[in-house]
């Protein structure tokens, strides 16, 4: 996954039907597990997926009211439809993404 700036996220979010942004911090143990799950998700879906270190996108975190990391923003048609904080499993994440895609 590529690191995205806020501008890259906004551009991707507004240009495609479904876009995912994974937000993390490098020192977070839970984020390291979630990062591995996101690598699997990346292979399962064909939507743009970016990642961002919350330390470098503080205003995005405030604007989207990110409460904790890891966080997965799922956007469709320019609007955030879901924020996932509990990365329970790859099948769980895949179903959440799929449900937004099918709306």
Beta bridge partners of 20: 49, 74
The answer, yes or no, to whether residue 17 has pLDDT greater than 90, is no
The answer, yes or no, to whether residue 102 has pLDDT greater than 90, is no
- CATH numeric code, 2-101: 3.40.30.10
Distance CA 6, CA 61 (A): 10
35: Cβ–Cβ under 8 A, 6 or more apart, which residues? 22, 24, 51, 70
How would residue 93 be classed by pLDDT, with cut points 50, 70 and 90? Answer: very high
In this prediction, what percent of the chain has a pLDDT beyond 70? 100
Identify whether the C-beta of residue 22 lies closer than 8 Å to the C-beta of residue 72: yes
Instruction: Read off the pLDDT of residues 36-73 as tens digits, 9 standing for 90 and up.
Output: 999 999 999 999 999 999 999 988 889 999 999 999 99
The answer, yes or no, to whether residue 103 has pLDDT greater than 80, is no
Question: Domain map of the chain by residue range?
Answer: 2-101
């Amino acid at each position: 996954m590529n690191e995205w700036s806020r501008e890259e996220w906004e551009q991707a979010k507004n240009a495609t039907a479904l876009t995912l942004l994974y937000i993390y911090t490098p020192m977070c143990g839970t984020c390291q597990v979630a990062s591995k799950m996101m690598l699997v998700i990346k292979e399962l879906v064909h939507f743009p997926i970016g990642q961002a270190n919350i330390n470098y996108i503080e205003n995005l975190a405030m604007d989207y009211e990110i409460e904790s990391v890891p966080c997965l923003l799922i956007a469709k048609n320019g609007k955030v439809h879901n924020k996932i904080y509990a990365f329970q499993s790859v099948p769980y994440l895949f179903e959440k993404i799929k449900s937004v895609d099918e709306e």
